[in-house]
């Protein structure tokens, strides 16, 4: 199964100013997060960010924050380690509408009213990266899997304070059913062809 840009959303978790200096390979991780946001912008993939307790950990580092904003994204402020526990899943789902039941549906007994249905099928492939991999990133991804999203972990845009914790998170996420990918894998799967209009722009981003 390959990633499809039309079915994807990008989530960037907690690249925060007071956290990133302690993160293993932080410069590479930040650079790849920015690449992901710029790629998503080019493919019109929705972009979301999160920040954990920003009064203590600060906002996202400026380059990540700017890339999210340039892509038209918004950032969820959270206190739970899992962003899903603070409502991320609601942001990722399409809006609901009441199915027509004929006449004034509100006048029908509740058991005869039709359930709400999505306005559209929605984008069920969540491409996610962030820090720390074994805490906020992992807990968010596991909760999204529980909510029946397809979750793709961009490994070279994730990290923790230690390499061991990062790798343990990847092992657990793969075992739970998440797909492990890299930034370049996302780029070329979204492209699918060298004839794609965004091909040259993607090459410039990944080189």
3-state secondary structure of 62: helix
pLDDT string in tens for the chain (207-residue length): 899 999 999 999 999 999 999 999 999 999 999 999 999 999 999 999 999 999 999 999 999 999 999 999 999 999 999 999 999 999 998 754 444 444 444 445 555 555 444 444 578 899 999 999 999 999 999 999 999 999 999 999 999 999 999 999 999 999 999 999 999 999 999 999 888 888 888 888 887
What is residue 34's predicted lDDT score, i.e. its pLDDT?
Answer: 98
| Domains of the chain, start order | 5-94+119-206 (3.40.50.850)
pTM, whole model, 2 decimals? 0.86
Within 8 A by CB and 6+ apart from 66, the residues are none
């Amino acid at each position: 199964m390959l990633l499809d840009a039309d079915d994807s959303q990008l989530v960037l978790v907690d690249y925060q100013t007071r956290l990133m200096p302690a993160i293993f390979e932080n410069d590479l991780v930040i650079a790849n997060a920015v690449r992901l946001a710029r790629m998503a912008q080019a493919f019109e993939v929705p972009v979301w960010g999160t920040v954990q307790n920003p009064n203590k950990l600060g906002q996202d580092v400026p380059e990540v924050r700017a890339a999210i904003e340039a892509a038209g994204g918004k950032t969820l402020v959270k206190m739970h380690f899992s962003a899903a526990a603070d409502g991320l899943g609601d942001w990722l789902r399409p809006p609901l509408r009441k199915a027509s039941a004929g006449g004034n549906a509100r006048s029908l007994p509740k058991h005869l009213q039709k359930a709400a249905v999505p306005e559209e099928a929605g984008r069920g492939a969540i491409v996610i990266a962030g820090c720390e991999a074994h805490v906020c990133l992992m807990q968010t991804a596991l909760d999204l899997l529980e909510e029946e999203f397809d979750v793709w972990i961009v490994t070279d845009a994730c990290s923790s304070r230690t390499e061991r914790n990062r790798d343990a998170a990847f092992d657990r996420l793969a075992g739970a059913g998440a797909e492990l990918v890299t930034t370049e894998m996302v780029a070329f799967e979204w492209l699918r062809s060298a004839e794609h209009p965004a091909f040259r722009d993607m090459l410039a981003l990944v080189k």
